[in-house]
Amino acid sequence: MQIEFVGSGPIEGAPLCAVAVLVFEGGDLSAAAEALDQQMNGAISRVLAGRFKGAKGQSAELLAPAGLHASLVLLVGVGARDGFDDQAAENAGAEAYKAVNASGATLLELRFTDITNAQAARAALGVRLASYRFDKYLTREKPEKKPSVHKAQVLAADPQAALLAFDPLAAVADAVAFTRDLVSEPPNILYPEEFAKRVKALEALGLEVEVLDEEQMRALGMGCLLGVSQGSARPGRLAILQWKGAPDPDAQPIAFVGKGVCFDSGGISLKPADGMEDMKWDMGGAGAVAGLMHALAGRKAKVNAVGILGLVENMPDGNAQRPGDIVTSMSGQTVEVINTDAEGRLVLADALWYCQERFKPKFMVDLATLTGAIIVALGHDYAGLFSNNDELADALFAAGQAEGENLWRMPLPAKYEKQLESPAADLKNIGGRPGGSITAALFIQKFVNGLPWAHLDIASTAWKKPSTSPTVPEGASGFGVRLLNRLVADKYEG
Ligand code: BES
Ligand code: MN
Ligand code: ZN
């Protein structure tokens, strides 16, 4: 999708052009809508006599009369004028794209007036995010099924200023697309080595990327992660990404750790067949961390950040880990594996311990599609937030609000730790069914060595079906990239 900011329209007047204007609640026309209404002899006012009144999420399409440069006119409802904010601008851009993307129009003109230059940039971001599509394996798709819009011209009072504001947002949009691609790829294509290869390629953006193989992880004592990996024909990897953007490259970093289970069959505790294909996106946490690092490098963030990805496949071959096995983690704590399907926490245990030991970061945030129970608790519009640090938790919560990636804080009650006691080892890897997301988080907490830490259980938000937001098409959401990028931008730069 090509984006251009223009000072006044129409610039190109392509024959197949859709022009979108804003209408506020109660039929309150934006200046551009007003002007267009006059050009169209009151056609827009006549629409307002019907049910379209400019409510948020509502839109109406008009055929453009002869003499207009466009073929379609789209009225985008955005709710009350005084409630219009950056997120409303972003959603309006996304809604406009969605409304016309299959019309045949090749050019979308966002003639959004009555908004700031920064909001024009957010509208452009909305178009970019909404136009994401994973179609590389659709070899027989008819041209008329493909999106028609290839370019968006975005009106801004000061196009230079809008472009300047868009620059870092474009870096975020690229990063979100990178994550969505990783998460969408089928598991025969994206396995640990391939994932590592794709993040290694991010060195072109200025990241430092190291990849550890199983032998190196064995030498470090990562028995928990390797126990998960041992049932797969495809070897695991640990990817370590570093972005050194702070004035002092040796200043203490912040750290992000992702669960990267490229396919989770459950292992010997095999999952049921129904829906098992969903477990290709069990690497959504690692995907988000990789996307965050992409975003930080893409916009040259003034921060030192580390991203660690635990990349494995959870498979049930003859060498697979058994229920009853006892493994020794890098921390030295032993774990009795009761259920091999509770593998994410085992991967994170070693990845987190490695992270704190090597980097001594200010804090660690892990992201993981960790439990089905978080979906039961929160539905698909919130990810679970667990933290041992109120300041970090509050900052994450606020960042999520600002970006439309919502979190909900969950408790970490010490008394539930009883559920993780094993007669044979220091810990067992599951508790009971009640509070399953909480005992999973409590397990992980045993491996953060007291550092400020937060855990985001994104099993509820990594994949959207159906879509619940105009900027997130059905499928891989890229959840976490924007949220963490915002956390860094608002709290840890400069
Ligand atoms: N990857 C799953 C969690 C999951 C479930 C992610 C549904 C996305 C959608 C995780 O590894 C898992 O299998 N968790 C088990 C834990 C149980 C064995 C304690 C679960 O949630 O059932
Ligand atoms: Mn599992
Ligand atoms: Zn899993």
Ligand 1: centre distance to CA 309 (Å): 18
pLDDT of residue 330: 99
Which ligand neighbours the alpha carbon of 337 most closely? 1
Q: How far apart are CA 63 and CA 44, in angstroms?
A: 11
pLDDT of residue 494: 79
Bridge partners, 5 (sequence order): 154
Ligand 3: centre distance to CA 390 (Å): 27
pLDDT of residue 69: 86
Q: How far apart are CA 464 and CA 442, in angstroms?
A: 27
Residues 6 or more apart whose CB falls under 8 angstroms from that of 234 comprise 191, 192, 193, 262, 313
What tens-digit pLDDT sequence spans the chain (494 residues)?
Answer: 999 999 975 556 676 899 999 999 999 999 999 999 999 999 999 999 999 999 999 999 999 988 888 999 999 999 999 999 999 999 999 999 999 999 999 999 999 999 999 999 999 999 999 999 999 999 999 999 999 999 999 999 999 999 999 999 999 999 999 999 999 999 999 999 999 999 999 999 999 999 999 999 999 999 999 999 999 999 999 999 999 999 999 999 999 999 999 999 999 999 999 999 999 999 999 999 999 999 999 999 999 999 999 999 999 999 999 999 999 999 999 999 999 999 999 999 999 999 999 999 999 999 999 999 999 999 999 999 999 999 999 999 999 999 999 999 999 999 999 999 999 999 999 999 999 999 999 999 999 999 999 999 999 999 999 999 999 999 999 999 999 999 999 999 97
Number of H helices, E strands in the chain: 14, 20
- Please identify every residue annotated as catalytic: 271, 345
Ligand 1 pocket mutation pick from 370, 442, 444, 455 by most atoms within 8 angstroms of CB: 370
Ligand 1 pocket mutation pick from 335, 348, 371, 477 by most atoms within 8 angstroms of CB: 371
Ligand 1: centre distance to CA 369 (Å): 7
Q: For residue 434, what are the CA distances in angstroms to 183, 363, 438?
A: 29, 29, 9
Ligand 1 atom index nearest CA of 279 = 1
pLDDT of residue 91: 98
Amino acid, single-letter form, for residue 233? A
Give residues (CB < 6 A) around ligand 1: 264, 282, 339, 341-344, 369-373, 430, 436, 459
Which ligand neighbours the alpha carbon of 276 most closely? 1
